[in-house]
Structure 1
Amino acid sequence: MLAIGLMSGTSLDGVDAALIDTDGVERVRAIAFRGEDYSDAAHTELAGATAAALTYDRPRASPVIAAATDLITRTHTIAVQELLRQAGVPARDVGVIGFHGQTVAHRPDRGWTWQIGDGAALAAATGIDVVADFRSADVAAGGQGAPLLPVYHQALAGGLGGPVAVLNLGGVANVTLVGAGALIAFDTGPANGLVDSWVEQATGRRFDEGGALAASGQVHPDVLDTLLDHPFFDQPAPKSLDRADFTIQPARGLSAADGAATLTAFTAATVAIALDQLPIRPTRLIVAGGGRRNPVMLGMIAERTGLAPEPAEALGWNGDAVEAEGFAYMAVRSLNGLPISFPGTTGVPRPLTGGTFHRAHR
């Protein structure tokens, strides 16, 4: 069926919307993709909601969360409408929308994860059935609730032979090992999240475009060692984290350029640690997500891992669209009762489907 996937990541940079044709198993054909950037005001509002959510002991209603939920639902509705207009596809031809929503807090150690966005309202506004809340069932069953993209990575990369690692460099990074028998995946650490936070505080810009600021700085090994001295890296996989589990505090006092260089090196070092924790060493490293556009980050990853990162486009994929496409794919799997998380990806006891269905009244 035709399916739309929607993703708004922890980088808070915008909404990604993808239209694919898929059976939720082996067939995947990309049709259209559209990215909608958040305004500065929307970015600030979502950052505020995330900061508030991290102070709560469990998901609960509040004015700031309600306003952010409305913002997420409205922006995602617009993204769907613009994507359909761009593709020349009527809403009635689309079988389902996979609506990830916006993660405002991820606390599987406390038994919950929280993605805001109103799936029922999105279904009503678009006239298309919606699957939302992909992570909660996994966490309720004892899983990490993340990463969820590995089953889609496997669909994309399964024909490449193996073992192949697919690395997603978003706000948080995760790696999937494909072609080694069982599907293995876990979060590796911060990707762009800390660098973005540093650059925004140091320069007012949202991110280090092209790694230019990091390229002009020097890595401080003592600060890097402090960043790496975190219990997360010693934990066995599967494991996941919240962007807020790490902070830029150890880099305080560095120049803007040196901080960017050190935090970029931190991302590279955590990827190297993760590859060492895989049961089989991958022979290729395929990179998706915004971090693939940072040549300084990719160069540091290559230096530390001994693998040349290959941008997703080298395989004919759209590296910006992979996450959104993945949630379209998983929505179809959810409709068909197929698993979206697995013991080797989230630590759930058994392969498990997920998602909450919202029917559109056409």
Structure 2
Amino acid sequence: MRVAGAMSGTSLDGVDLAVIESDGVAITGFGQTAYRPYSEVERVILRSALGLWPGEAGVAEAAEVIEDAHLDLARDLGPIAAFGFHGQTLAHAPGLRGTHQAGDGERLARELGCPVVWDFRSSDVELGGQGAPLAPFFHWACARWIGAGGAPLAFLNLGGVGNLTWADPLAAAPDAPGALLAFDTGPANAPLDDLMQVRGLGAFDLDGALALAGQVDRGVVAAFLEDRFFVKIPPKSLDRGHFGHLVEKVSTLPDADAMATLVGCILGSVVRGMEHMPAPPAQLLVTGGGRKNPALMTGLQTALDIPVLPVEAVGLDGDFLEAQAFAYLALRVMRGMTTSAPGTTGVAAAVGGGRISQ
């Protein structure tokens, strides 16, 4: 079936949209992709809503921005069996208040005239899971699509927050015991972009140039890695704001040193995450915006003793992998299949999430 998915990530840069062909298990083809950046005004609205819960002032305005941006991209898709709408995560506190992705799938279904699958995370959280990450089932399908053979491999997504997926392509299904282990590693692009904006240096560190010119403050990195999150056994997940203080920790450092130190923190968190792998992966495939940052990629290759490659090296598209993942998950929801499992979110048993609006 031909399905579409979209993702608006924690970096708040814009909306990615992608079409795939699948039966809900195997990937049979990749279709069109598109990107719609948020304007600066829209980013201000979204940033002001971070940390808010349904009904709080500012959430409705943020939801309208999110819905309008998705509709801009999705109106001319042509016939699709379903549209996977993740929405925008504003707050995430599993075990406490739950999880909040702003955006109304019912509005999208009315205006697009096709089934929209949305609210992917709530069911998992209600059943005791972390509600994140949700891309691992798709990572398992990608591992099989690229012909990974019998060796397990790992995917590292460097978006606003970082997350790792360990996948066994020989497992019979993504929800089979031992098929997947997935969890958030720590901050990724979010503090790098925040530092650039706080200091008036632009939207992001182009080509990692600033970080590569600086010196790492090892004391800041060591203190960062003392956070209790890093000793928690996965699966585990983070809210974007969990490490919101990190930019403040480098406030006394010059620009280049501050950026290099933040990169050092990110690298340290990934290295700590790799220690949780069930077996050494044959390679680490990097997706998300962070794969375009030479400071991060060079640092990962230096720190790890396995090949570290952008997902493009195996024929995947790192700009749209998460959007493709929500297309894949949307189809699984439409077919009554599972979307998360104990190894990916810590939920008690494999569960299918998502609401369907038609």
* Map of 1:126 onto structure 2: 112
Superposition TM-score, scaled by structure 1 size: 0.93
The 5 Å alignment of 1:332-351 reads: 332-351=331-350
| Identity fraction in percent | 42
The 5 Å alignment of 1:104-123 reads: 104-123=90-109
* Map of 1:65 onto structure 2: 59
* Map of 1:87 onto structure 2: none
The 5 Å alignment of 1:160-171 reads: 160-161=148-149, 162-171=151-160
* Map of 2:7 onto structure 1: 7
SS at match of 2:25: coil
8 Å contact 1:111–1:139 — kept in the other structure?
no
User: Which residue of 209, 212, 219 maps to 1:212?
Assistant: 209
SS at match of 1:345: helix
User: Which residue of 162, 173, 192 maps to 2:162?
Assistant: 173
State the Cα distance separating 1:228 from its structure 2 match: 1.2
8 Å contact 2:20–2:27 — kept in the other structure?
no
State the Cα distance separating 1:356 from its structure 2 match: 0.6
State the Cα distance separating 1:322 from its structure 2 match: 0.3
State the Cα distance separating 1:303 from its structure 2 match: 1.3
State the Cα distance separating 1:113 from its structure 2 match: 0.3
* Map of 1:45 onto structure 2: 45
User: Which residue of 58, 79, 87 maps to 1:101?
Assistant: 87
1:243 correspondence with 2:240: yes
Distance in 2 (CA, whole Å) between partners of 1:293 and 1:81 is 30
Which amino acid in the other structure matches residue 303 of structure 2? Answer: R
CA offsets, 1:42-69, max 9 Å, x none? 1111000114x1xxxxx33134110111
8 Å contact 1:226–1:250 — kept in the other structure?
no
Distance in 2 (CA, whole Å) between partners of 1:203 and 1:22 is 44
State the Cα distance separating 1:249 from its structure 2 match: 2.0
Q: How many residues align?
A: 345
Distance in 1 (CA, whole Å) between partners of 2:322 and 2:271 is 22
* Map of 2:173 onto structure 1: none
1:76 correspondence with 2:65: no
* Map of 1:56 onto structure 2: none
CA offsets, 1:8-48, max 9 Å, x none? 00000000000111111013411111111111111111000
Question: Which stretches of structure 1, 4 residues or longer, exceed 6 Å deviation after superposition?
Answer: none
8 Å contact 1:203–1:256 — kept in the other structure?
no
* Map of 1:263 onto structure 2: 262
State the Cα distance separating 1:189 from its structure 2 match: 0.7
CA offsets, 1:202-248, max 9 Å, x none? 23412111111101111010111111110000100010001100022
Which amino acid in the other structure matches residue 48 of structure 2? Answer: G
State the Cα distance separating 1:279 from its structure 2 match: 1.5
Whose helix proportion is higher, 1 or 2? 1
Which amino acid in the other structure matches residue 263 of structure 1? Answer: L
CA offsets, 1:114-149, max 9 Å, x none? 000010001111111100000000000000000000
* Map of 1:355 onto structure 2: 354
Which amino acid in the other structure matches residue 337 of structure 1? Answer: G
Distance in 1 (CA, whole Å) between partners of 2:201 and 2:301 is 29
1:35 correspondence with 2:23: no
State the Cα distance separating 1:302 from its structure 2 match: 1.2
Distance in 2 (CA, whole Å) between partners of 1:109 and 1:28 is 37
SS at match of 2:75: helix
Which amino acid in the other structure matches residue 153 of structure 2? Answer: V
The 5 Å alignment of 1:250-329 reads: 250-329=249-328
Considering only aligned residues, what root-mean-square deviation do their CA atoms show, in Å?
1.2
CA offsets, 1:251-294, max 9 Å, x none? 12011111110101111111111111112111200011110000
Which amino acid in the other structure matches residue 26 of structure 1? Answer: A
SS at match of 1:109: coil
SS at match of 1:155: helix
CA offsets, 1:298-319, max 9 Å, x none? 1111111223311111111111
Distance in 1 (CA, whole Å) between partners of 2:28 and 2:156 is 19
SS at match of 2:319: coil
- Gaps spanning 5+ residues in structure 2: where? 170-177
Which amino acid in the other structure matches residue 354 of structure 1? Answer: G
* Map of 1:157 onto structure 2: 143
Which amino acid in the other structure matches residue 212 of structure 1? Answer: A
SS at match of 2:88: strand
Distance in 2 (CA, whole Å) between partners of 1:31 and 1:222 is 47
Distance in 2 (CA, whole Å) between partners of 1:67 and 1:203 is 26
Distance in 2 (CA, whole Å) between partners of 1:63 and 1:279 is 44
Superposition TM-score, scaled by structure 2 size: 0.94
